[in-house]
Amino acid sequence: MRLRVAGVIVLLYAQPLSRVVRLTIDDVIRDGDAVLLRLGEPPSPVPAPVAALLLKHITNRGNMNTATNPASRWLSPGRRTGQPLGPNHPSALLNKVGIPIAAARGAAIRQQLLELPASVVADALGYHDKTTSRLRNETGGTWSRYAPGDHARSPTGWVPRGTSEVGGPPVPRA
């Protein structure tokens, strides 16, 4: 189960295993029926089948019955007191079952960048915006003119084309 959870997080959210093993159960957020995973801000939604797997894993985490980990908050507790599982073991096991971690993670982030602006991917997945911008350019993404920020309100002094300054009749277009 632990291996499946780690593999799914790598494949869906383009996270390195070194970061996946450092996730805690506090990074899994239940909001009503929705399950979110805190990788960046805002937390990322988790699809229903993966959410069920993640929640089941939390209730049945390994290495919890040892004297060193009775109250561990790690999503994947390790054998050493207060430490998470190391990334090398799950990496080797995932490679063994046919999931090349580096290639899978690279493909996952590039797919995200084809579907969303680089700045949105950076914030949501906890990447640096320069990294996502560089990867977007390498993949030929089409979000180069996206302006990040609050798009819910107009800039001060901006007037839509074809209207007057304040409540007058529309200005004819040339």
The predicted pLDDT at position 159 comes to 60
Q: Residue 137 has which token pair?
A: 């350019």
The secondary structure of residue 78, as a DSSP letter, is -
The predicted pLDDT at position 102 comes to 86
The predicted pLDDT at position 89 comes to 85
Domain boundaries, the chain: 2-63+73-139
Fold exhibited by the domain 2-63+73-139: hpI Integrase; Chain A (1.10.443)
- Block mean pLDDT (10 aa), the chain, length 174: 90 91 93 93 92 92 66 80 81 88 88 87 88 83 58 58 54 53
Query: For residue 165, how many C-alpha atoms fall within 13 Å in the half-sphere facing its CB?
Result: 1
- Tens of pLDDT along 77-112? 877 777 788 888 888 888 888 888 888 888 999 888
> Cα-Cα-Cα-Cα dihedral of 93, 98, 103, 105, to 10°?
-60
The predicted pLDDT at position 139 comes to 77
The whole-angstrom separation of Cα 113 and Cα 137 is 9
Q: Are 21 and 76 in contact (CB under 8 A)?
A: yes
The predicted pLDDT at position 56 comes to 94
Q: Are 124 and 33 in contact (CB under 8 A)?
A: no
The predicted pLDDT at position 162 comes to 56
The whole-angstrom separation of Cα 16 and Cα 28 is 17
CA angle 100, 106, 108 (to 5 degrees): 95
